[in-house]
Structures are given as C-alpha cells and as structure tokens.
Amino acid sequence: MQCDDLGPEMLEYLAGTLPDDRLAEIRAHLAQCQACRDDVDATAELWNELGAAPAPRPESSRMRARFDAALQGYIDGQAESRVVSFAAARRPALRWQPWLQFAGAAALVVIGVGLGRFVTVGPPAQSNSEIALLREELRDTRQMVTLSLLQQQSASERLKGVNTSSQLEQPSTEVVAALLDTLKRDPNVNVRLASVDALRRFSGRDAVRKGVVEALPQQESPLVQIAMVDFILEAAGPDAKGVLQRLAEDMMLNQAVRARAERGLKQVGL
Amino acid sequence: MRAVREGDLTRMGVLFERHHRPLFDFLYRMTGDRGAAEDLVQDVFVRMLRYRATYRDDGRFETWMFRIARNVRADHYRKHGAAVYVPDDDMDWASSEPGPGHLLERAREMARLNRALQSLREDRRELIVMVRYQGMSHEQVGAVLGVDAGTVKVRFHRALKELRDAFSRVPEGE
C-alpha cells in the first residue's frame, strides 16, 4: 500500500467502516509511516473542529409564515386561473346577469366584516391562557417530533432528530436519554458525532457526563471517540485527568484517540 | 411529496416543516449570509411547488431537493455575484461551548475555520458541507451531483486537504 492510497479512504478508516482486510492493510501501513499517522491525526482533528462550527438557527416561524403566504397565493392563483377559464367559456350567459356579481360582492363584504368582528372580539385573559396552552402544546409536539425522528430508519432523518433537539429550550429527560442512547447505539458515524455536539448543552448534568464516559470504550469509530474525549475535557476540566490517563494508556484504542487524550492531559496540566 | 405532485398542495407545509432547517444550514454555509439563506430556502420550496411534476418516485426526496437547492443557489450567484463572506454580527460562535475558560479561544478558532471554509472553491466547499453537515454518504452526494461514489470520495479527500491547507494559512488571532 502507498501513502497516496490512504487519502480517499481516510475518513472511512476514521469512521471505522472499512472492511477488516482493508483495515488491516491500512493499520500495517500506518505502523511504519509517521507522515500518514500525522495525516490521520490532522484529518480527525479537522473533522471534529468542523462539527463544532455552528450555523445560526433559522427564524422558522417567520419563514413558515412567508412560505404559507406564498403557498396560499399559488393555490389561489391556480383556483383563479381555473375560474377564469371556466368564466371565459360561460361569458355570454354571465354578462346578462350583473345583479349576480353585485350580490356576490356584497355577500363577501358582509362575511369579511363579520369574520373580523368575530376574530377581534373576546376577553384578553382567555387569549393569553390559550396562547400559553398553545406554546406548551408546541413544545410537547417538538419533543415528540425529536423522539420520533431519532427512531427513523434513515440516517438523515435521525440526524435531523439530533439537530431538532437543539431547538428545544428545555428538553425533557427523555430527550436527553434518547440522545445518549443515539450516541451509544446509532450505526451512523455522523449521527453519533452530532449527538456528541447536541449533548454538550447538557454537559453540566452528572448523568450525561457519566453516560459519555461509559460509552467511550464501546465506540468503534476513532472520530467519535476523539469528539467524546473533547467533550469530557470540556465538561470535566481537571477532573477529567483520571479518565484521560486511562484512555492515553489504553493500547486497544486507536493511536489518534490516545494522542488526543495525551494532549488533553497536557491541557489540564499533567 | 407524492401527495403534492398528485395535487394536494397543502402538504407542502409538512415538507417545509421537515426540511427547511437542513436546507437553511446548507444554504447558509454556502453563502455565509443569513438573510440570503432564508430567501433561498423560500425559493427552493416555491420551485418544488412549480416543478412538482418532475419529482420521480425512484429517487430519494432529499436528492431531488438538493438538486433544486443547488440550482437556486447558482441562479442567486449569477444575479448577485459569488458570495463574499462577512460573518453575521449576531452569530454566537461560542454558543456550543460550556467552559468559560475556553470560550474566547474556541470562538476565534471557529471563526478561522469558517473563514478557511469560505475561502475554498465553491464545489469543494459544497462537498464538505454535504458530507459533514448534512450527513450525506458518498453515494447520496454522487446522486445529487450526477457522479459516482468513487469520484465523490476522491474529490472529497482533495477538498478536505485544501481546507486543511487553507486553515493553516488563515492567521491566528484574527
């Protein structure tokens, strides 16, 4: 195997998705090539850095309102064009009935005024409680959507589920537990990586820190392991020394992961 | 989408709810402009509505959607020129980091990395955004771009290498 052969397969190597025979070849090459080992380390680090680069959240409600208006306009436009073509076919008959058009317009005005009064009149206290209730329902729905997406077959859908969790202001324990479970069991590397990022928001919780530490040895992907080492380092700071020490000395772990743990130890002052 | 194609246009709302966030993320990372990304998301959904008859059952919906998104973005560039990245003022680069000691340093690193990403050629940046941020496999990216997975793999490796080089060239402390 040549150094150039490694490049296109590096990500699959780091993700732990290569077949065993190819994995063995790459490992053998890495054992004797310092330049490629450095290349693998740098790529793994860059990959995780990219994952930590945030994008702003879209103004979903404003965008939805705009889209609904555009959609309604499109639907109305289609209905109108159907009416126009129908009217064109019938024009001679309608032309002799102007009273019908006048009566229709008058009826529309009456309905519009009535609807306006109906919508605007009503006790404000009741409106406020209804709004609060709606908000609560919306929050529950979002939690349900998140949990449901995390169960989907498609990795893209599960990725959406993980990302949706970041839209929740106060996610339930159930959502946090589902994220931890995703980190432990999801077959897709990108979904697991996204769950590490999502769990950062809850790194203050003991159960989350403990869950991530426990899940680390079960991971097969060095990319995810490196992201988890970063998580542990950020969440626990100097308290992470013991865990990092164990990782740095664990010869069963990928060399890039051990190197990251060693750098972490230096960061916390060991 | 099948229901929309058959005439139930009200189902577009469900598609919007489900897909507007990943589309926004893709278009924001491609344009570096929040306002433009929001406008382009609207354009993508309006085009889906107009060209719903071109949707075929044999492909993934996301493939079709991202093809439309690429066309919308290309039209945007033709009208307004290629993106010149200016970080949003309200962008909280440090929001995902809990430890206060690392905040400033991490925020600077993220800004450097983003600058490096924006400095890449558009087709390179697009590959990184689709694989890293949309979680798409090489096969899925290949379906969007109309090339095979092997080609995506090689191009992606080249893009990542260029990003590393660009990242190392962006001065620290900016």
Whether A56 sits inside 8 A of B41 (CB atoms) is: no
Domain shared by B46 and B111, yes or no: no
**Do B164 and A204 count as a contact with CB atoms less than 8 A apart?**
no
Q: Does any domain span residue B90?
A: no
Can you tell me the distance from the alpha carbon of A85 to that of B78, in angstroms, rounded to the nearest whole number?
Answer: 37
Nearest to A204 among B17, B96, B98 (CB): B98
The pLDDT tens digits of the residues spanning B148-172 come to 999 999 999 999 999 999 988 887 7
CATH code, domain with B28? 1.10.1740.10
A-chain CB neighbours of B100 within 8 Å are none
Q: How many CB atoms lie within 10 A of CB B151?
A: 14
The amino acid at A4? D
If phi over 0 gives left and psi between -120 and 50 gives alpha, with beta otherwise, what is residue B173? left
Q: In the numeric block, which tokens belong to residue A54?
A: 């945030």
DSSP at A202:
G
Rounded to whole angstroms, the Cα distance separating A201 from A205 reads 9
User: What pTM, to 2 d.p., does this model score?
Assistant: 0.60
CB B63 within 8 A of CB B50: no
Classify domain A127-267 at the CATH topology level. Answer: 1.25.40
Question: Is residue B152 situated within a structural domain?
Answer: yes
Of B113, B135, B163, the CB nearest to A191: B135
Nearest alpha-carbon partner for A167 in B63, B135, B17, B26: B17
Name the DSSP letter for residue A205. Answer: S
What is the C-alpha to C-alpha distance for residues B4 and B46, in angstroms, rounded to an integer?
12
Q: Is the same domain home to B123 and B158?
A: yes
Mutate to test the interface with B, among A67, A193, A223 (most CBs of B within 10 A): A67
With beta carbons under 8 A apart, name residues in chain B contacting A167. 21
- Closest chain A residue to the Cα of B88, Cα to Cα: A56
Residue B93 in any domain: the answer is no
* Cβ-based contacts of B34 with chain A (< 8 Å): 56
A30/chain B closest Cα distance in angstroms: 18
User: Are B107 and B58 in the same domain?
Assistant: no
CATH number at B138 reads: 1.10.10.10
Is there a contact between A9 and A26 (Cβ–Cβ < 8 Å)?
yes
Task: Note whether B106 and B66 are same-domain residues.
Answer: no
For residue B78, the distance in angstroms to the closest alpha carbon of chain A comes to 24
Q: How many CB atoms lie within 10 A of CB B73?
A: 22
Interface A-B, measured as beta-carbon pairs within 8 A, has a size of 134
Classify A187 as helix, strand or coil: coil
A164 contacts in B (CB within 8 Å)? Answer: 21
Q: How many domains does chain B have?
A: 2
In terms of domains, do B72 and B116 share one? Answer: no
Q: What distance in Å separates the CA atoms of residue A230 and residue A247, rounded to the nearest whole number?
A: 12
CB distance B30 to B122 below 8 Å: yes
SS (H, E, C) A112-168: HHHHHHHHHCCCHHHHHHHHHHHHHHHHHHHHHHHHHHHCCCCHHHHHHHHHHHCCC
What is the pLDDT tens value at each position of chain A, 270 positions in all? 888 888 888 888 887 788 888 888 988 898 899 998 888 888 888 888 888 777 788 888 888 888 888 787 777 776 665 555 544 444 444 444 555 555 656 666 666 666 555 555 555 555 667 777 666 666 677 777 777 777 777 777 788 888 878 777 777 788 888 888 888 888 888 888 888 888 888 888 888 888 888 888 778 788 888 888 888 888 877 777 888 888 888 877 777 788 888 888 887 775
Write down the residue that tokens 């009273």 correspond to: A99
Which of A8, A70, A74 faces B153 most closely, judged by CB atoms? A8
Q: Hey, are the CB atoms on B96 and A54 less than 8 Å from each other?
A: yes
Contacts of B16 in chain A (CB under 8 A): 64, 67
Domain range annotation of chain A: 9-45, 67-121, 127-267
Report the alpha-carbon distance of residue A17 to residue A39 in Å, rounded. 18
User: pLDDT tens, A206-265?
Assistant: 888 888 888 887 787 888 888 888 888 888 777 778 888 888 888 777 777 888 888 888
Residues of chain B with pLDDT under 50: 84-97
CA distance A249 to chain B (A): 26
- Pick the residue of A3, A18, A50, A160 with the most B CBs within 10 A to test the interface with B by mutation: A50
Domain that holds residue B120: 100-169
Same domain for B56 and B8: yes
B57: left (phi over 0), alpha (psi -120 to 50) or beta: alpha
- The confidence score (pLDDT) of residue A109 equals 66
| Helical ranges in A200-240 per DSSP H | 206-215, 222-236
